[in-house]
Amino acid sequence: MYEEELDEDGVEYYAIRPNKSQIKREIAELNEFIEQLIALSPAQLALFELEDIVFKAIVTASSLPPTGARKRQIKYINGLLRKLDISELQEQLARLQSKSAHAVREHHAAERWREQLLLGDENTVSDFLAEYPAAERQELRNLVRSAKREQTLNAPPKHARLLYRYIKDIIEQG
């Protein structure tokens, strides 16, 4: 219902209630954000520097099975977070997810280069060095040679792991 008010000049003012659909959309968005927070590990969640009560509520929700209890816990967290400005938290979560996606891309690139170096010849080493000039030619050659030797002897892949680590470090630098 609208309440009518008249001021001194006889102008009518109406009190407008919030749009219910908009409120429901905001609650759904906040619930989605909460689900993303629940999916994080406690160590990742600690990076957000949440209030103690919110942190404990999220950790509790992450341990609950997806039943009514979890839904009630999410509603409780929703009520706690609605009182806070969560825009900074959303930015932190986006950065964390972006960082994670970037790490996956680096991992895949390092895996591809290791496979190419182990299957390839001297030209592959040159290609790697051309793309990543920070790498040391001699160290890279030694690691590739040792890893190839391990493969032929069916030995544990110690040098293949060292090669992967070296490539990954170079990719992170470059």
Domain count, the chain: 2
According to DSSP, residue 156 is labeled: -
Q: What is the pLDDT of residues 74-133, one digit of tens each?
A: 889 888 888 888 888 888 888 887 777 778 888 888 899 889 888 887 788 888 888 888
State whether 78 and 108 are in the same domain.
no
Instruction: Determine the Cα angle at 68 with ends 66 and 71, to 5°.
Output: 75
94 assigned to some structural domain: no
Q: Are 151 and 160 in contact (CB under 8 A)?
A: yes
Same domain? 57 vs 129: no
Residue 2 has pLDDT above 60, yes or no: no
Write out the residue range of the structural domain in which residue 32 sits: 4-84
Q: What is the CATH number of the domain that holds 105?
A: 1.10.60.30
